[in-house]
């Protein structure tokens, strides 16, 4: 007999933790550092604070591989009464709104807490204060996985005398640092490229300390929360919006609940869908809703607005220059685009020479970023890898496998089309593919021009070196042919060579 069973969301993710980046103690160690850091960065940026983040990794028991992590930030903190849920209840989050976040599943931090708990049986410690808060909250908590509810072990408040704000998280877990150290360091290094306005301090129990100092004080604009673009709305979403707009007539509904719909567009839509403009939306029947949906799928709306996005812009170039000191850098940012109603912006850079290494055999130097976080694992299936492999680089006289050349791709969106809950790689959405390709090609032309000019100059230099060696013979020859004086011709030739050398 087949038994049916219901499980809670906590239980589901507990059973399937490998799909969220916790497949083994090495990956878990990497993922915990990453999730805590990304939540901290999100929190600082949303509050408009220049991030100042410290991460400490200690070893509590070498044999058991029991580690302790502590992450402290100067962000928005979490309100006292929300703390148990923010860390102890899965599918409860502040990230389920239309705004660019690093986290989009609202899952990572809780999975980290959950993993710590199931490997060490210890609660997570949370210290938090929101800006202006009179007190600082202290919590120790676990997750009741079967019921998906927080289980508060300890809670208290102390006076916030120094007007501190931010979040400190501390937890213990079984992790393999030996096997994850390299990836963690690489992750921190690449993060510093994407957020040169952050100060990140990292210290492990082996005596390593990484300090990524702030390279600019300019924080990118804070992304705003936006309305839905009508193209991104499916039937379920449309019905939900109708349900939460009781008593609203169609025109008001369209204008108030969507971006890119003004009174005139609303009028046109109502005509096309054959529904009266002032019909109360909660009274629309299934047929009318379906018609409205069809129009929304096909009407030529303006592109989604991008106030909810926060590209890196200038900071990207600063970060790359600081990290690699390239001889030449081409940077490009595309106009906003959208896929299925989700706005996104692609920015790319190609760096040449300087400290850019020659790629390892059959590899390419590709640095992928999404909503300001570096993507380290599983690059082979990523859309950027696909784009780069499918461009014919001979056209640009670039050998991506042998030249000291590196590619940087950043995509920011209210909805990054990740393929995994572990946020490892980006799906091959045609619109995203095209934007990356166009941007890389633009940079490729610039870099190609630079490299070619450089090659020509080097070629010229070699030519003139040869010319100098043979100048006496040539002068001799010219002397016989022209009847001019040898010294006169030689001097003129020498001058010519020197002028060319200088101008090149």
Binding site for a second copy (CB under 8 A): 2-9, 11-12, 14-16, 18-19, 23-24, 46, 64, 76, 82, 85-86, 89, 91-94, 96-97, 105, 117-121, 145-146, 234-237, 240, 286, 289-290, 293-294, 378, 380-381, 417-422, 424, 427, 429
Shortest distance in whole angstroms from residue 4 CB to a second copy: 5
- Which residue, 346 or 451, has its beta carbon nearer to a second copy? 346
- Which residue, 263 or 298, has its beta carbon nearer to a second copy? 298
Which is nearest to 117 in space by CA: 10, 37, 6?
10
Backbone angles phi, psi at 80, to 5 degrees: -45, -55
Shortest distance in whole angstroms from residue 96 CB to a second copy: 5
- Which residue, 383 or 451, has its beta carbon nearer to a second copy? 383
- Which residue, 86 or 333, has its beta carbon nearer to a second copy? 86
Shortest distance in whole angstroms from residue 6 CB to a second copy: 4
Q: Compute CA distances 468 → 49, 321, 343, 486, whole Å.
A: 61, 38, 60, 15
- Which residue, 91 or 280, has its beta carbon nearer to a second copy? 91
Shortest distance in whole angstroms from residue 317 CB to a second copy: 31
Shortest distance in whole angstroms from residue 68 CB to a second copy: 16
Half-sphere exposure of 147 (CA within 13 A, CB side): 8
Q: C-alpha dihedral over 462, 466, 468, 470, to 10 degrees?
A: -170
Q: In terms of C-beta density within 10 A (0-12 exposed, 13-18 middle, 19 or more buried), how is residue 275 classed? A: buried
- Which residue, 260 or 419, has its beta carbon nearer to a second copy? 419
Shortest distance in whole angstroms from residue 447 CB to a second copy: 25
337-367 in b/e burial notation, b at 16+ Cβ within 10 A? bbbebbbbbbbbbbbbbeebeebeeeebbbb
Shortest distance in whole angstroms from residue 194 CB to a second copy: 22
3-state secondary structure of 423: coil
Shortest distance in whole angstroms from residue 449 CB to a second copy: 30
- Which residue, 46 or 449, has its beta carbon nearer to a second copy? 46
- Could you give the CA distance from residue 477 to residue 291 in angstroms, rounded to a whole number? 88
- Which residue, 175 or 422, has its beta carbon nearer to a second copy? 422
- Could you give the CA distance from residue 64 to residue 341 in angstroms, rounded to a whole number? 48
3-state secondary structure of 133: coil
Q: In terms of C-beta density within 10 A (0-12 exposed, 13-18 middle, 19 or more buried), how is residue 11 classed? A: middle
Which is nearest to 353 in space by CA: 319, 327, 318, 325?
327
Shortest distance in whole angstroms from residue 296 CB to a second copy: 13
Which is nearest to 187 in space by CA: 27, 349, 62, 318?
27
Shortest distance in whole angstroms from residue 373 CB to a second copy: 17
- Could you give the CA distance from residue 400 to residue 80 in angstroms, rounded to a whole number? 52
Half-sphere exposure of 12 (CA within 13 A, CB side): 9
């Amino acid at each position: 007999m087949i038994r049916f069973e219901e499980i809670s969301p906590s239980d589901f993710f507990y059973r399937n933790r490998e799909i969220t980046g916790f497949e083994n103690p090495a990956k878990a160690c990497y993922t915990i550092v990453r999730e805590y850091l990304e939540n901290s960065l999100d929190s600082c940026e949303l509050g408009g604070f220049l991030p100042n983040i410290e991460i400490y990794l200690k070893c509590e028991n070498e044999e058991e591989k029991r580690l302790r992590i502590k992450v402290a930030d100067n962000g928005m903190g979490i309100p006292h009464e929300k703390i148990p849920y923010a860390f102890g209840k899965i599918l409860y989050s502040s990230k389920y709104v239309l705004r660019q976040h690093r986290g989009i599943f609202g899952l990572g931090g809780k999975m980290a807490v959950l993993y710590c708990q199931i490997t060490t049986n210890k609660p997570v410690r949370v210290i938090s204060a929101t800006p202006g808060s009179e007190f600082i909250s202290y919590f120790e908590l676990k997750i009741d996985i079967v019921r998906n509810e927080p289980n508060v072990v300890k809670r208290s408040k102390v006076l916030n005398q120094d007007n501190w704000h931010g979040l400190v998280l501390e937890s213990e877990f079984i992790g393999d640092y030996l096997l994850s150290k390299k990836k963690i360091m690489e992750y921190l290094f690449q993060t510093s490229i994407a957020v040169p306005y952050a100060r990140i301090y990292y210290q492990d129990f082996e005596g390593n300390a990484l300090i990524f100092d702030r390279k600019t004080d300019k924080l990118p604009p804070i992304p705003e929360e936006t309305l839905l673009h009508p193209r991104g709305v499916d039937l379920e979403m449309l019905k939900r919006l109708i349900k939460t707009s009781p008593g609203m007539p169609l025109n008001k509904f369209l204008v108030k609940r969507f971006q890119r719909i003004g009174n005139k567009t609303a009028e046109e839509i109502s005509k096309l869908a054959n529904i009266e403009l002032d019909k109360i939306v909660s009274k629309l029947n299934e047929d009318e809703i379906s018609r409205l949906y069809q129009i929304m799928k096909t009407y030529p709306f303006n592109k989604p607005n991008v106030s909810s996005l926060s590209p890196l812009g200038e900071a990207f170039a600063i970060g790359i220059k600081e990290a690699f000191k390239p001889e030449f850098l081409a940077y490009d940012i595309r106009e906003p685009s959208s896929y299925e109603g989700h706005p996104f912006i692609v920015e790319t850079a190609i760096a040449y020479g300087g400290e850019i290494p020659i790629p390892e055999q059959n590899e390419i130097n590709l640095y992928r970023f999404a909503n300001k976080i570096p993507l380290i694992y599983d690059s082979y299936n990523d859309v950027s890898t696909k784009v780069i492999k499918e461009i014919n680089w001979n056209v640009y006289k670039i050998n991506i496998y042998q030249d000291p050349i590196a590619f940087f791709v950043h995509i920011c969106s209210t909805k990054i089309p990740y393929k995994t809950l572990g946020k490892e790689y980006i799906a091959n959405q045609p619109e995203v593919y095209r934007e990356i390709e166009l941007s890389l090609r633009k940079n490729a032309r610039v870099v190609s021009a630079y490299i070619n000019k450089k090659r020509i100059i080097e070629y010229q230099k070699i030519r003139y070196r040869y010319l100098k060696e043979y100048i006496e013979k040539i002068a001799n020859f010219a002397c016989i042919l022209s009847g001019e004086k040898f010294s006169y011709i030689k001097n003129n030739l020498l001058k010519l060579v020197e002028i060319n050398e200088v101008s090149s």
